[in-house]
Structures are given as structure tokens and as C-alpha cells.
């Protein structure tokens, strides 16, 4: 079921899971399900800290894997493990520091293992700063940045850090959006501003999205004069926010071939009008829109209420209940599979694999994003006396992290 999450709602911690598949119609595993034994290492999280809520949102940078670690009222604590020796080489960093007043912040991770934090303190200190902590858990630098009401933090593929902020109008100057680019040494490299209206976001591939009433995609922060894609949203349509992929950003997904997918929706009357379960008498009608690398719209596909999509390679994966299908940029179906399991949920690994897990049953599958072939199949409850729930993070290429629900032990496995 699709729910139009608002940005403010997307900060809630979500633990999600999924069940697996193989290519070719009905479920037929081409890898034997296993329960991993002899973990590479295990780590017992200290009392008073919660690593489970953000477990599936882990990130890999340098030789480390990073988890959000909630401690007290803060979710701005990073728990780092060296991927190969996490039980021996690990550290925790609390970005709140000793601040008496703290007004929130935003975390991002660099490929080199650095962790970046955009934040604003309260009290007398109301300036925004970006902090950088290195792969050994030591503060590298703190740089003040210009942010008006709120800012957005991004890390470009080349390692640069970008702070995006909308600056409100004054008597002397009209409103504008500013992009401040910092090097990984914390020094300001450039400031770019654009006076177009809308909401700007730097995407993971370095492109810049303007998600106003007219959708505009720019090649990067240094190429804001002319969009490579421009598309006017149909009347009464809005962007969908997919918390599995985008957190607090619109459901816009760059593709490996240079194209782009976006999911939009409009509110329409529900069949049968108002009911006890639907007091508004309305429903959301979703549409998937695709563009090729030249900015040409290739299709607009209506989505049923029980259909979900995930960008994969130069196309997408469509889920409807237990059925999964892969499509190319022209909406042509490539492969399909029907899976076993309930409460199925999909995400993508850093390697591009489709990760299919079922937290409730303790199953995980890593699938080829194009063919849906099973690369790895895990069942944590094989031969177990009772079924236990598990949180998973699959970093790709057989690198798996698990956490039994309600427990405090992180385990790292290498799947063969």
C-alpha cells in the first residue's frame, strides 16, 4: 500500500525486511538457503543504546560500516565498525558533543570513511556548521556555513560536500537557493546561487533536482544555467516520498544509463465514497514517469495501490504482493518471479543488487537486479525451535550484518 509520507514524517526510525526470489516465474531457488555460522565477528552493543531502529539504513565508507546509534533522546550518534575486524576496531561518536541546546542535524557519509554532520545549536550559538569525523572517529574539522531556515547536506561522487539552503528574501535581496561546496579538507571551494523558485536537492549522483511545480534536473551544482530535463507536473499532482529510498526527498531516481524515474500522485475520489475505514472518501492515484538520457519522456505508467517500484540499473523493479518484475527504461518487461513469504519488502544494496528480506521470518535474498537470479539466500531460522525476527543490512558481494530483534548483538558474515 502506498502512503504519501510528508517530509516531516520521514524522520521516524523504520526497520524493514523482505523475502527472496529467483528468475523465471514461480519461486525456485537456485541457491540453497543457509543459516550463516561462525560469524567473522560479533559485537555487543552497550546498554542504553539502540542500534536496531536504523539498522537497515547502515552505510559503508572506506573500510568501515556505519550504523545510527540512538542514545537517550539523540539519534545523531554514529556507531562505526571496521568491516573485517569490527569486534576489535570500532568506535562511537556523539555529534551532540557537550551542547546544552541542540536543534537537530543531518548526517552524510563519504566514500573515504569520513562522516559529515550539518547542525545548528540553540541558546546563544545559533550558527550552522559542518563537522567532519575521520574513519578513526576523530574530529577533522568544523566549518561554519550559510544557512537561513534549514539546510540539506550531500556528498558528491568526487568526495566534495555540498550544503544546499533556501535563503529568504530581504529588503535588499530577492530569495534564492545557495549551494556551498566544501572540499574534504573543510575549505570552501565555491558558492553558486540560483533564483529560480522551487525546492532544490543534490542527488546521490551529483545531479541537482528542482521539485517545484515544474520538475527540472540539472547536471550538477556547476551547471545550473540550463536543465537537462524539464517536466511540468500534471494538474493537482504531487511528488511521492518513498522512505525506503529517499528519506525526506521526492521519489526521483537517477538511472545508470542517464535517465530518470519519478513517482507522482493525485488525490481522487475513492470507489464507494466515505467508509468507516476511509473517512476522507479519497484515495491516492500513483503514476510512474520515465525519461531517457536525452530528457525525452519514454512512458507514464499508472500504479495500482498495492504496487511499489524500485529503480534498478537502467530500469526498475515492480512489486505487487509476492510478484516481482523487472522493466527497462521503455517499460518493457525483462524478467519476473513470484516469491514465497509475507510482509515482503525490497531495497537496493550499494552494489546494485536487489535485497529482499522478511524481518518477521528471518529470511534474506540478494538478487541480480536485472534477471532476479538469487545470488545469496539466507534463513536465520533453519532448525530453530521458534521463529525469531531479524534486522538485516546487506552491503553487497556477500557481506551481511544481522541483529536479532530486541537483542544487542551485531554479527558480520561473509556469504559464499
Please state the three-class secondary structure of 48-103 as a single string: CEECCCCHHHCEEECCEEEEECEECCECCEEEEEECCCCCCCEEEEECCCCCCCEE
SS3 176: strand
pLDDT value, residue 75: 72
1 in any annotated domain: no
In a domain, 195, yes or no: yes
Q: Which of 322, 289, 314 is nearest to 303 (CA)?
A: 289
Percent of the chain's residues with pLDDT above 70: 87
**Residue 292 predicted with pLDDT over 80:** yes
Q: Measured between alpha carbons, how far is residue 256 from residues 125, 205, 261, 264, 339 in Å?
A: 43, 9, 11, 21, 26
pLDDT score recorded for residue 99: 58
Tell me the residue range of the domain where 361 lies: 7-414
pLDDT reported for residue 296: 94
Q: Per-residue pLDDT for 318 more than 90?
A: yes
CATH classification at residue 352 = 2.130.10
CA-to-CA distance for 326 and 335, rounded, in angstroms? 5
Q: What confidence score (pLDDT) does residue 104 get?
A: 60
CA distance 359 to 132: 33
Instruction: Give a yes or no: residue 374 inside a domain.
Output: yes
**pLDDT digits over 181-216, tens only?**
999 999 999 999 998 888 899 998 999 999 887 899
- Tell whether the model's pLDDT for residue 72 goes beyond 90: no
71-75, 84-88, 269-273, 320-324: range with lowest mean pLDDT: 71-75
Q: What is the per-residue pLDDT across 127-160, written as a single tens digit (0 to 9) for each?
A: 889 999 999 999 999 999 998 877 899 999 999 9
Mean pLDDT of the chain: 85
pLDDT at residue 148, rounded to an integer: 83
Query: Which pLDDT does position 163 carry in this prediction?
Result: 95
Residues 237-274: tens digit of each pLDDT: 999 887 666 566 789 999 998 899 999 999 888 888 88
In a domain, 316, yes or no: yes
- Longest alpha-carbon distance in the chain: 71
Dihedral Cα 304, 249, 354, 110, nearest 10 deg: 180
22 pLDDT above the threshold of 60: no
Does residue 125 register a pLDDT over 70?
Answer: no
pLDDT digits (tens, 9 = 90+) for 375-409: 999 999 998 889 999 999 999 999 999 999 888 89
What is the count of structural domains for the chain?
Answer: 1
pLDDT score recorded for residue 248: 66
pTM over 0.75: yes
Residue 2 covered by a domain? no
Amino acid at each position: 500500500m502506498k502512503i504519501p509520507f510528508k517530509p516531516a514524517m520521514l524522520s521516524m526510525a523504520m526497520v524493514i525486511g523482505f523475502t527472496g526470489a529467483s528468475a523465471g516465474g514461480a519461486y525456485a531457488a537456485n541457491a540453497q538457503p543457509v543459516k550463516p555460522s561462525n560469524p567473522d565477528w560479533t559485537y555487543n552493543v552497550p546498554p542504553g543504546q539502540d542500534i536496531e531502529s536504523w539498522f537497515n539504513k547502515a552505510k559503508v565508507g572506506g573500510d568501515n560500516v556505519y550504523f545510527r546509534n540512538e542514545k537517550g533522546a539523540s539519534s545523531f550518534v554514529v556507531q562505526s565498525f571496521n568491516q573485517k575486524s569490527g569486534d576489535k576496531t570500532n568506535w562511537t561518536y556523539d555529534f551532540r558533543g557537550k551542547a546544552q541546546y541542540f536543534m537537530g542535524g543531518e548526517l552524510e557519509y563519504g566514500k573515504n570513511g569520513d562522516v559529515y554532520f550539518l547542525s545548528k545549536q540553540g541558546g546563544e550559538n545559533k550558527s550552522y556548521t559542518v563537522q567532519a569525523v575521520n574513519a578513526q572517529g576523530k574530529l577533522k574539522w568544523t566549518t561554519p556555513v550559510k544557512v537561513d531556515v534549514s539546510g540539506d547536506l550531500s556528498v558528491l561522487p568526487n568526495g566534495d560536500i555540498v550544503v544546499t539552503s533556501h535563503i529568504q528574501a530581504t529588503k535588499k535581496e530577492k530569495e534564492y537557493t545557495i549551494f556551498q561546496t566544501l572540499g574534504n579538507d573543510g575549505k570552501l571551494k565555491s558558492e553558486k546561487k540560483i533564483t529560480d523558485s522551487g525546492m532544490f536537492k543534490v542527488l546521490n549522483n551529483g545531479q541537482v533536482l528542482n521539485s517545484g511545480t515544474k520538475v527540472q534536473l540539472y547536471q550538477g551544482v556547476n551547471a545550473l544555467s540550463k536543465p537537462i530535463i524539464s517536466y511540468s507536473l500534471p494538474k493537482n499532482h504531487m511528488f511521492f516520498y518513498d522512505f525506503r529510498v529517499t528519506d525526506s526527498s521526492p521519489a526521483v531516481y537517477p538511472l545508470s544509463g542517464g535517465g530518470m524515474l519519478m513517482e507522482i500522485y493525485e488525490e481522487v475520489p475513492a470507489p464507494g465514497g466515505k467508509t468507516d475505514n476511509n473517512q476522507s472518501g479519497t484515495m491516492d492515484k500513483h503514476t510512474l514517469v520515465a525519461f531517457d538520457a536525452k530528457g525525452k519522456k519514454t512512458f507514464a505508467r499508472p500504479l495500482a495501490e498495492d504496487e511499489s517500484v524500485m529503480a534498478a540499473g537502467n530500469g526498475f523493479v515492480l512489486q505487487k504482493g509476492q510478484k516481482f518484475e523487472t522493466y527497462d527504461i521503455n517499460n518493457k518487461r525483462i524478467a519476473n518471479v513470484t516469491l514465497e513469504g509475507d510482509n515482503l519488502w525490497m531495497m537496493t544494496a550499494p552494489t546494485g543488487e536487489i535485497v529482499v528480506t522478511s524481518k518477521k521470518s528471518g529470511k534474506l535474498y540478494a538478487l541480480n537486479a536485472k534477471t532476479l537470479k538469487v545470488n545469496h539466500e539466507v534463513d536465520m531460522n533453519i532448525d530453530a525451535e521458534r521463529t525469531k525476527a531479524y534486522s538485516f543490512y546487506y552491503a553487497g558481494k556477500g557481506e551481511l550484518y544481522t541483529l536479532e530483534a530486541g537483542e544487542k548483538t551485531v554479527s558480520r558474515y561473509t556469504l559464499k
